[in-house]
Amino acid sequence: MSKRLPNSVIIGTGEYVTGYVPGGGSKSDKSCGVVGLVHFDMRRRGLIGERILIAGTNGTKFPPAREHLKRLIDGRYRDLSSSFESFPSDDCKRDPNAYKEALNQLQEGDLVSVFTPDDTHFEMTKEALERGCHVMVAKPLVLEFEQHKVLADLAMKKNRLLLVEVHKRFDPIYSDARQRLNSGQMGPFGYFYSYMSQPKFQLDTFQAWAGISSDISYYLNSHHVDWHVWAMAGRGRPVSVRATSSSGQAEKRFGDGRKCEDTITLMVDWENKESGSGDDGCNSGMKGHAVYTSSWTDPVSDVHSQQHFYCQAHHGFLKADQAHRGYYVSTDQDGYKSVNPLYMKYTTDAEGYYNGQSGYGYQSFEKFVLAAHQVNEGTKLASDYNNLLPSAVSTLQVTAILHAGRISLDSQNSTVRINYTEQENLFKPTSLTVLSN
Ligand SMILES: NC(=O)c1ccc[n+]([C@@H]2O[C@H](COP(=O)([O-])OP(=O)(O)OC[C@H]3O[C@@H](n4cnc5c(N)ncnc54)[C@H](O)[C@@H]3O)[C@@H](O)[C@H]2O)c1
């Protein structure tokens, strides 16, 4: 039994962690970041230990990032301190291994959050799990299906949580939609589409990796693919993926010869398990299909990110527009905006305290921390959370779809089959195969 509060390492110092981006404070909807603020508040509330360590590559970025956080957090919220230990030191221009130094400070059962470019997630997560830490990773967990399997197995072997930070699962509307799809009223799945985008100025924020080590589908389709896979758990499975894309705007903006899609669409065929007449595996003969589209070349609009989906089942449909909650704010500074305080709420309560704990961007981390307490105290196993939280074990289909999409784009839009071993597990993909055009 351990009552010690776990300390935390956050790897990454970018927009999602600090809100501090090349050129100053982010102009997105996350001006003081998400991961740092949530950790500082969880420390104030006594959910995590005193030590919060943040690791980046460039130490010279820490002094202005600290100033930025001090102004927007300490200067704004009562009793909330944004203090943290940083790696590498402030005079170090570049050390991509500084995160290992931060991990050296931790004990087994401590917490690691990985919020770095997608191609670095695998090594960092593996290292943190091997040291016996619980790990929360930004979506997408990894770029490659085989890497996902390795990490999921390692987490189970070590009895450690390995979660993907897909906060939309905690949005009251998205989680209600999932429950309704599974309520028995809707019937087998037929058709799904989603669209998610960001304004093109985000390309400047992500210039270090956009088109180089990841793409817009990994970055944004990952959200709705995760929701759909989660909603279909035990009822159907994705079997093939074909991807297509648009280009021209991002490549022109970067102007450095890199290849970078503007918009990516994944077209995915699904098989339904249920046929309404007994259990015939996934051979019910009833197919569904899904179209997931994401873009980072939208113009500036009333929201930072357009995001909506439509899901048709045999006896009903669900439709959600996450960008428009029927709540609008206009200021001289920012103009007319559709805002969503259900995600991250930055305003204070009547006594001046930060009170965004109910936001689903916050909840996502709090659930990770509370689950880690249970595993550390021995009251639960990490595997008890496999289906309760977005674990690596339960999200293999997500990486299978995203990776198959990338393979399709890189092989003249070929169809990529997702393979399963029928007898062993109807829903656990085993490999990907490129089919000829
Ligand atoms: N920005 C968002 O709204 C958002 C939302 C959810 C998830 N995410 C995810 O968070 C991750 C990071 O996104 P971001 O928006 O903060 O990106 P960003 O480009 O603003 O920041 C990436 C950060 O990672 C750091 N980094 C790179 N290599 C590193 C290394 N070896 N060691 C330590 N740090 C390293 C960089 O220094 C940089 O600070 C991505 O996986 C992204 O999908 C971002």
pLDDT value at position 278?
Answer: 52
Distances (CA, A) of 308 to 128, 177, 184, 366: 35, 12, 23, 25
Do 160 and 187 reside in the same domain of the chain?
no
Q: Which domain holds residue 65?
A: 8-166+356-391
Please report the pLDDT score of residue 437 as a whole number. Answer: 73
Protein residue with its CA nearest to atom 7 in ligand 1: 138
Strand 236-247 versus strand 261-272 pairing type: antiparallel
Most ligand 1 atoms within 8 A of CB, residue of 53, 115, 168 to mutate:
115
Distance of CA 85 to the CA centre of its chain: 25
Give pLDDT tens digits for 343-391. Answer: 999 989 999 999 999 999 999 999 999 999 999 999 999 999 999 999 9
pLDDT at 305: 94
Domain CATH number, residue 312: 3.30.360.10
Which ligand 1 atom is nearest residue 28's CA?
3
Q: Pairing mode, if any, of strands 429-434 and 85-87?
A: unpaired
Q: Is residue 3 part of a domain?
A: no
Q: Tell me the CA–centroid distance for residue 14 and ligand 1, in Å.
A: 5
- Give the mutation target among 9, 10, 15, 202 for probing the ligand 1 site: most ligand atoms within 8 A of CB: 15
Among candidate residues 318, 93, 144, the one with its CA nearest the CA of residue 224:
318
Cα(102) to centroid(ligand 1), Å: 17
DSSP-derived secondary structure for 152-214: HHHHHHHT--EEEE-GGGGSHHHHHHHHHHTSSSS-SEEEEEEEEEEETTHHHHTTTTBTTTB
Give the closest residue to 145 by CA, choosing from 434, 435, 437. 434
C-alpha count within 13 angstroms, C-beta hemisphere, residue 406? 22
166 closest CA partner among 316, 391, 369: 391
| CA 327 to ligand 1 centroid distance, Å | 29
Q: Give yes or no for residue 115 CB within 6 A of ligand 1.
A: yes
What are the residue ranges of helices labelled H in 159-206? 172-181, 202-205
Establish whether residue 55 lines the binding site of ligand 1, counting it when its CB lies within 6 angstroms of any ligand atom: yes
Place of tokens 């309760």: 388
- Residues 70, 197, single domain; the answer is no
Dist. CA 419–CA 428, nearest whole Å: 9
Asked if residue 376 and residue 265 are part of one domain, the reply reads no
Judge whether 77 lies within some domain. yes
Q: How far apart are CA 371 and CA 393, in angstroms?
A: 16
Model pTM? Answer: 0.95
Bond from prior residue into 88 cis (ω within 30 degrees of 0): yes
Question: Are 289 and 179 within one domain?
Answer: yes
Q: Residues 6 or more apart from 3 whose CB is under 8 A from it?
A: 377
Tell me if 124 is assigned to some domain. yes
CA 267-272-274 angle, to 5 degrees, is 165
- The total domain count for the chain is 2
Contact 139, 361 (CB under 8 A): no
Q: Which atom of ligand 1 is nearest to the CA of 98?
A: 32
- Considering the domain architecture, whether residues 381 and 400 belong to the same structural domain is answered as no
Give CA 131 to chain center in angstroms. Answer: 23
Distance from the alpha carbon of residue 25 to the mean position of ligand 1, in angstroms: 15
Indicate whether 156 and 23 sit together in one domain.
yes
HEC string for 76-114 = CCCCCCCCCEEECCCCCCCCCCHHHHHHCCCCCCCEEEE
Ligand 1 contact via 16 beta carbon (within 6 Å) = yes
d(CA 360, CA 377): 26
Residues 409 and 368 in one domain: no
- Per-residue confidence (pLDDT) for residue 1, from 0 to 100: 42
Question: Is residue 11 in contact with ligand 1, taking CB distance under 6 Å?
Answer: yes
Q: Is 226 in the pocket of ligand 1 (CB under 6 A)?
A: no
Q: Is the CB of 125 under 6 A from ligand 1?
A: no
Nearest to 383 by CA among 153, 229, 105: 153
Nearest residue (by CA) to ligand 1, atom 34, is: 56
Low-confidence ranges of the chain (pLDDT < 70): 1-2, 28-29, 274-281
Whether the CB-CB separation of 72 and 31 falls below 8 Å is answered with: yes
